[in-house]
Amino acid sequence: MRGFFVSIEGIEGAGKSTVLKRLADALRQDGYQVVETFEPGDTEAGKRIRQILLDPQLKGLYPLTELFLYFADRAEHVKKVIEPALQSGKVVICDRFMDSTFAYQGFGRGLDLETLYRLNEIATGGLKPDLTVLLDLDVKTGLGRNRNTGKADRFEQESLEFHQRVREGFLELSKDEPSRFVVVDASEPPEKVFKEVYNRLLERING
């Protein structure tokens, strides 16, 4: 039996990794086999690609170079991690997937969306998440949360306007594909956010 593929999306500081961890724990308790993963960087090659992508010293990386690095990471990740897990019937929960490319490189950097869709199709071999959870949060709140953790990578150094375009991009993507997306207000208390995501996910897995 084929598994189930969930992606978790949102701006920096939306709480994706916290929700992912709790979801994985809850699903394991329910008896599912779960693989927790993320992009970019969850393969041997991906780790190195991630270092380039997030290096704050690397100023002015050409947007197309950035784009192809994300797709290189994704091609490797789909082939080596996601597809094998799905083929063995597991639930795969991925912190960021293709919608991050559409939101950041498309809406954020201004690259043509139709081109991104076509290239993404090639990188993934047509694989799409069965469900995408969008944790929606005000940009100032999200960036403020991450600042508290003291990290500032290449994206966190981007302007508020850039992150605003990314947030709006995610919301637009969710409107284009309402049956794939579940949009959750990430400003709610973590317990409430988790419960809502968990319930919606169970409905889909069982449906």
Q: In terms of Cα–Cα distance, which of 41, 68, 156 is closest to 108?
A: 156
Size of the site for ligand TMP (CB under 6 A): 10
Measured distance CA(90)–CA(175) in Å, rounded = 28
Whichever of 145 and 195 has its CB closer to ligand TMP, that residue is: 145
Whichever of 3 and 15 has its CB closer to ligand TMP, that residue is: 15
Residue with tokens 């991925």: 94
With CB under 6 A as the contact rule, the residue among 4, 107, 155, 194 that binds ligand TMP is 155
String marking each residue 71-90 x if it binds ligand TMP according to CB under 6 A: --------------------
Stretch of residues binding ligand TMP (CB under 6 A), selected from 19-27, 83-91, 100-108, 127-135: 100-108
Binding to ligand TMP by residue 169, rule CB under 6 A?
no
Binding to ligand TMP by residue 43, rule CB under 6 A?
no
Whichever of 100 and 174 has its CB closer to ligand TMP, that residue is: 100
- Name the residue type at position 151: K
CB of 173 to ligand TMP, least distance (A): 12
- Name the residue type at position 148: N
Q: What is the number of residues in the chain?
A: 207
Binding to ligand TMP by residue 107, rule CB under 6 A?
no
Binding to ligand TMP by residue 129, rule CB under 6 A?
no
Binding to ligand TMP by residue 124, rule CB under 6 A?
no
**Residue 135 in contact with residue 16, Cβ under 8 Å?**
yes
Binding to ligand TMP by residue 70, rule CB under 6 A?
yes
Binding to ligand TMP by residue 5, rule CB under 6 A?
no
Stretch of residues binding ligand TMP (CB under 6 A), selected from 21-29, 82-90, 93-101, 111-119: 93-101
Cis ω on the peptide bond leading into residue 40 (within 30° of 0)? yes
With CB under 6 A as the contact rule, the residue among 7, 43, 101, 124 that binds ligand TMP is 101
Residues near ligand TMP (CB under 6 A): 12, 39-40, 70, 96, 100-101, 104-105, 155
